């Protein structure tokens, strides 16, 4: 074999080697891409299952108050004697109002969920004094805590904390955390709300001595469509989007929220927010205005667990 033939053979071998290397690389990449597709498919299936469970729960949540309202109206229609009509009508009207609050709460959560997923959830901040705002929110839920024989404390900062917040979303954050703290506590337990500031940030803590959350579930506590699992009987009363929206609202304020919890020892949710105010974004609300808004918001938030009439 002459030199030219040897060169051709070596060149062919080199080309074949390069082709084989390229095919091997492509095969590895294909396998890697296949694994990624499989993972994404598993994640999509899991998300679909969770959404299916969520919408099943939500259908039940919407159906329940509607059925109660319809039943109350039908009872009012059946009352014939004036005395019976007056007594039952009063009770049924309270029942209707309570379940209307439940529907309003569910509707608010669904609307905010849709806005969040579409990117249209925005803030309407105003300058406020954080101690006063948190105190009014805490006072608005005191009747619910007393009804369950819980000690409710509010520990405020020794000096004013001026901050720019969306009042309505801050109320939703605090009322959801307080509702959960009260819901999963038993008579004699304590719920403590603390406010302080440090290094240019404001800190809000909601701490209870109730049931706590298992460590295996804490990593998914803020996941959308996921419920906390603190108590099987009570978790079915919620839609599973409350804490997800809490986290979304906190992050809209450029803040953070974390959980510290032990089973049978209680839970603590800690929020930290940037301590900033701004010009031209609205005036401070008066304490009386804050209290009225907080009282009404509390009736809506606590309607998921407590009757406003008993």
Do 194 and 254 have their domain in common? yes
- Whether residue 153 contacts residue 192, with contact meaning beta carbons closer than 8 Å, is answered with yes
Indicate the pTM of the whole model.
Answer: 0.70
95: in domain: yes
- Which residues are within 8 A (CB) of 182 and not within 5 positions of it... i.e. 6 or more apart? 141, 144, 145, 148, 150, 191, 208, 302, 305
Enclosing domain of residue 21: 1-121
Assigned token pair, 271: 């929020």
Establish how many alpha carbons lie within 13 A of residue 64's alpha carbon, considering only the half-sphere containing its beta carbon. Answer: 19
Do 161 and 249 have their domain in common? yes
Do 98 and 179 have their domain in common? no
| Overall average pLDDT of the 59-81 stretch | 69
Number of folded domains in the chain?
2
Assigned token pair, 138: 């805490």
Q: Is the pLDDT of residue 57 over 60?
A: yes
Do 110 and 175 have their domain in common? no
Q: Burial of 71 by CB count in 10 Å (0-12 exposed, 13-18 middle, 19+ buried)? A: middle
- Whether residue 166 contacts residue 253, with contact meaning beta carbons closer than 8 Å, is answered with yes
Please report the pLDDT score of residue 189 as a whole number.
95
- Cα gap 73→51, rounded to integer Å: 33
Q: What is the DSSP letter of 194?
A: E
In terms of phi and psi (left: phi > 0; alpha: psi -120 to 50; beta: otherwise), the region of 161 is beta
pLDDT digits (tens, 9 = 90+) for 143-171: 999 999 999 999 999 999 999 999 999 99
pLDDT digits (tens, 9 = 90+) for 31-55: 777 777 777 777 766 666 666 566 6
- Whether residue 308 contacts residue 98, with contact meaning beta carbons closer than 8 Å, is answered with yes
Assigned token pair, 67: 């059925």
Assigned token pair, 169: 């979303």
Element (H, E) at 61: helix 3-78
Q: What is the DSSP letter of 178?
A: H
CATH number, domain of 41, equals 1.10.287.130
Q: Which of 121, 145, 169 is the last residue of a domain?
A: 121
| Overall average pLDDT of the 278-284 stretch | 62
- Cα gap 223→281, rounded to integer Å: 32
Best CA proximity match to 289, nearest among 129, 91, 57, 74: 129
Q: Burial of 97 by CB count in 10 Å (0-12 exposed, 13-18 middle, 19+ buried)? A: middle
- Cα gap 152→175, rounded to integer Å: 13
Measured CA to CA in angstroms, residue 10 lies from 15, 23, 278 at distances of 9, 20, 75
Do 107 and 233 have their domain in common? no
CATH number, domain of 254, equals 3.30.565.10
pLDDT digits (tens, 9 = 90+) for 166-194: 999 999 999 999 999 998 899 999 999 99
Do 285 and 188 have their domain in common? yes
Do 50 and 195 have their domain in common? no
Do 139 and 278 have their domain in common? yes
Q: Read off the pLDDT band of 234 (50, 70, 90).
A: very low
């Amino acid at each position: 074999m002459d030199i030219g033939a040897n060169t051709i053979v070596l060149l062919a071998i080199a080309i074949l080697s390069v082709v084989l290397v390229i095919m091997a690389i492509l095969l590895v990449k294909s396998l890697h891409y296949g694994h990624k597709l499989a993972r994404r498919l598993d994640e999509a299936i899991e998300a679909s299952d969770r959404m299916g469970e969520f919408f099943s729960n939500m259908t039940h949540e919407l159906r329940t108050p509607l059925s109660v309202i319809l039943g109350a109206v039908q009872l009012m229609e059946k009352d014939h004697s004036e005395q019976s009509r007056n007594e039952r009508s009063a009770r049924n009207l309270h029942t209707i109002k309570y379940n209307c609050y439940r529907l309003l709460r569910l509707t608010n959560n669904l609307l905010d969920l849709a806005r969040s997923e579409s990117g249209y959830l925005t803030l309407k901040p105003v300058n406020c004094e954080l101690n006063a705002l948190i105190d009014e929110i805490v006072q608005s839920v005191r009747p619910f805590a007393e009804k369950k024989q819980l000690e409710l404390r509010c520990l405020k900062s020794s000096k004013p904390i001026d901050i720019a917040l969306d009042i309505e979303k801050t109320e939703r954050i605090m009322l959801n955390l307080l509702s959960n703290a009260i819901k999963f506590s038993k008579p004699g337990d304590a719920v403590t709300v603390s406010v302080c500031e440090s290094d240019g940030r404001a800190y809000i803590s909601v701490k209870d001595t109730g049931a706590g959350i298992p460590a295996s579930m804490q990593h998914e506590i803020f996941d959308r469509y996921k419920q906390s699992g603190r108590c099987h009987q009570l978790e079915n009363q919620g839609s599973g989007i409350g804490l997800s929206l809490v986290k979304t609202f906190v992050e809209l304020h450029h803040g953070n929220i974390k959980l510290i919890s032990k089973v049978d020892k209680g839970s603590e949710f800690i929020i930290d927010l940037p301590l900033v105010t701004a010009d031209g974004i609205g005036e401070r609300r008066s304490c009386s205005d804050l209290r009225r808004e907080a009282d009404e918001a509390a009736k809506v938030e606590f309607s998921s667990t407590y009757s406003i009439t008993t």
